[in-house]
Amino acid sequence: MEAIGVLMMCPMNNYLEQELDKRFKLFRYWTQPRQREFLTQQAESIRAVVGNSTVGADAELIDALPKLEIVSCFSVGLDKVDLIKCKEKGIRVSNTPDVLTDDVADLAIGLMLAVLRRICECDKYVRRGAWKFGDFKLTTKFSGKRIGIIGLGRIGLAVAERAEAFDCPINYYSRSKKPNTNYTYYSSVVELASNSDILVVACALTPETTHIVNREVIDALGPKGVLINIGRGPHVDEPELVSALVEGRLGGAGLDVFEREPEVPEQLFGLENVVLLPHVGSGTVETRKAMADLVLGNLEAHFSSKPLLTPVV
């Protein structure tokens, strides 16, 4: 398969990049100073694109690559891929579900504990020597809190199962009520927020779920409520979130994702009730290798005329 051209859109994972280089004819898109000219020159050579949750394959890129057969994503999210265009042109699409579920769900619980127990602030308190002059202030208990989950898919369900171990009642919102679960279903996000102490965003990013957490939802969660976003940044109306936190209309937030990554609102930097992470939900050595192996496996399956391991289109 060394002659098959694969276009990698941006730096993602060293192991993945090395293996693509070994197995295919790898083109590194981010290294091209004149990308449009490059696409024109290599249009007949590139048969696969490897993207992620930051850079995928939009309509313009797809139209520029007439020989494109597959888009293999190093992510679960597919909002950076024009799925309609891919379907029209018969281009296969795959992603990396399941393998990152545990890591993201683990991180969601970690964010809940970090925000409520002020773990980051406690660490700073010890490091700057403040403990010598008095104990840290009291924080808030996590066990028993009502957890509301937007999106009860693989990740949402894994978060729910972990939170149950802390005796947390589980509520959720999704497009329809899920069978075979005893969790409490709410048909609107506002109603879910009103009945939750902690609201977790764990749904896929679509036009319908963009800004699914808006001012009304934030106000329903209230000054003692906590928002945890381990989904995607555009799920939350960021200016509304920032103003609610600054004004005290929301009790706290644990954020792994942001609307304009890597840009983060500076107003959040000085808030001790906010924990900020650089989109590391799947960021463990074990999971990133498993994701890379899925990307490679899907490419090799396609070019060997075998079924995709994780087909989307």
- Identified catalytic residue from 161, 164, 261, 263: 261
273-277 long-range CB contacts below 8 Å, 24 or more apart? Answer: 273/115, 273/118, 273/245, 274/115, 274/245, 275/111, 275/114, 275/115, 275/119, 275/120, 277/107, 277/111
Whole-number CA gyration radius for the chain: 21
CA distances from 244 to 115, 215, 220, 223, 224 (A): 16, 8, 11, 9, 12
235 a catalytic residue: no
Burial class (CB in 10 A: 0-12, 13-18, 19+), 43: middle
Q: What are phi and psi of 8, to 5 degrees?
A: -95, 125
Tell me if 225 sits within 8 A of 114, measured CB to CB. no
Burial class (CB in 10 A: 0-12, 13-18, 19+), 249: middle
- Identified catalytic residue from 146, 154, 249, 279: 279
- Identified catalytic residue from 232, 235, 288, 302: 232
CA gap 170, 182 in Å, rounded: 9
279 a catalytic residue: yes
Identify the three-state secondary structure at position 194: helix
- Distance separating the N- and C-terminal Cα atoms of the chain: 22
Identify the three-state secondary structure at position 296: helix
Cα 96 to chain centroid distance, Å, stands at: 12
232 a catalytic residue: yes
CA distances from 309 to 81, 96, 97, 98 (A): 18, 9, 10, 12
Q: What are residue 198's DSSP bridge partners?
A: 147, 226
Catalytic residues: 232, 261, 279
